[in-house]
Amino acid sequence: MTKADLVDRVTALGDLTRRDGEIIVETLFESVISALKADDKVEVRGFGSFRTRQRNSRIGRNPKTGERVDVPAKRVPFFKPSKELRDSVNPGGAKSTLIAKKSSRTSPVDPHHPPAM
């Protein structure tokens, strides 16, 4: 989905012009960006949270020349999805994994000698 697609969806929700939809989407993005610049956290319940993380300085390599390059410390934006978002994107994935772990604990199977069928 692109920014234009998002504007179209916002515009279709109500009696809004395309310009109104653009203003709403742009205001949302600018608000998140300005909060992250101020080192604040943006949390949207049911969706996730945006925050910044500190990356330490390190020594990298120029891939073209192989020369060592000092990469300075910096803050990077980071998004952490909510549990609801993760579950909606991957329905049943966490439950089936949990069930598989429980069943493997209750009836261990020797991989070298599987049970007879």
Residue 105 has pLDDT above 90, yes or no: no
**55 within domain boundaries:** yes
Residue 100 has pLDDT above 60, yes or no: no
Number of domains in the chain: 2
**68 within domain boundaries:** yes
Range of the structural domain that residue 85 is part of: 46-105
Give residue 110's pLDDT band: very low, low, confident or very high (50, 70, 90): low
Domain identity same for 64 and 22: no
Domain identity same for 51 and 95: yes
**77 within domain boundaries:** yes
pTM over 0.85: no
pLDDT digits (tens, 9 = 90+) for 12-59: 998 899 999 999 999 999 999 999 999 999 999 999 999 999 999 999
Q: Domain holding 73: CATH number?
A: 4.10.520.10
Domain identity same for 97 and 69: yes
- What DSSP letter does each residue of 40-90 carry, written as one string? --EEETTTEEEEEEEE--EEEE-TTT--EEEEPPEEEEEEEE-HHHHHHHS
Domain identity same for 51 and 99: yes
pLDDT digits (tens, 9 = 90+) for 71-88: 999 999 999 999 999 999
